[in-house]
Amino acid sequence: MKLDLEKDLMQNEIPTNKWLWKETQPEVIRNKSIDVKLPLSQKNELIIRKLIDFVRYSQDPDLNKKENQDYLRPAVGLAAPQIGSNTNMFFARFEWDVETGDVEEFAMINPKITAKSDQIAFLEGGEGCLSVDKDIKGVVPRSYKIQIEAYEWLSKQKVDLTLRGYHAIVFQHEIEHNQGKLYHDKINKDSPNFIDENWIAI
């Protein structure tokens, strides 16, 4: 998706790093988010729109150039606490093929994990986070497969999703933001690079 800033933004501001809240602001980042009522209030609708615009903009190399003074680290997902709101919402965007337009987008309202596998997976390159400025290295173990219930705002319907691998890892990362947790909480403090032989590398 190539964003047209005059037509495609879902709210009035160009996304900026100034929107982001960091782990140095635990009053929000470490606070548990609350479920929101549907239909969304005007305030909460603005939040989901900002989450969508931030991720889409951050993934657009024509608009978000590395030489920009306010360059955004490209995001796959962003949760509401990361822009200062302890509401149980996040947006994730998987751009598989720019040329063919193969993209999946999920604007999740009140997401809840209803089941997860015992099988563990991890990202080989580790995880990162826009709310964590330090590059904290280590293996982040997560469930390989999860079941999710939520209201999907873009399609305006309740969804029940079964996710595996990379999808599941991204969703767990974002859902944990809404629980006041960060990815590095899951890294083994005594042995950051520990990998069990049964874990799956993604």
Rounded Cα gap, residues 39 and 32, in angstroms: 21
The catalytic position among 99, 104, 174, 197 is 174
Residue 173 marked in a binding site: yes
**184 annotated binding-site participant:** no
Q: Could you give the 3-state DSSP secondary structure of residue 21?
A: coil
**Annotated catalytic residue 152:** no
Residues near 6 by beta carbon (within 8 Å), at least 6 away in sequence: none
Query: CB burial class (10 A; 0-12, 13-18, 19+) of residue 97?
Result: exposed
Burial state string for 34-52 with b = 16 or more CB within 10 A and e = fewer than 16: eebeeebeeebebbbbbbb
Whether the bond into 39 is cis, omega within 30 of 0: yes
Q: Is 129 labelled as part of a ligand binding site?
A: yes
> What residues form the annotated binding site?
129, 173, 177
> What residues form the annotated binding site for Fe cation?
129, 173, 177
Catalytic residues: 174
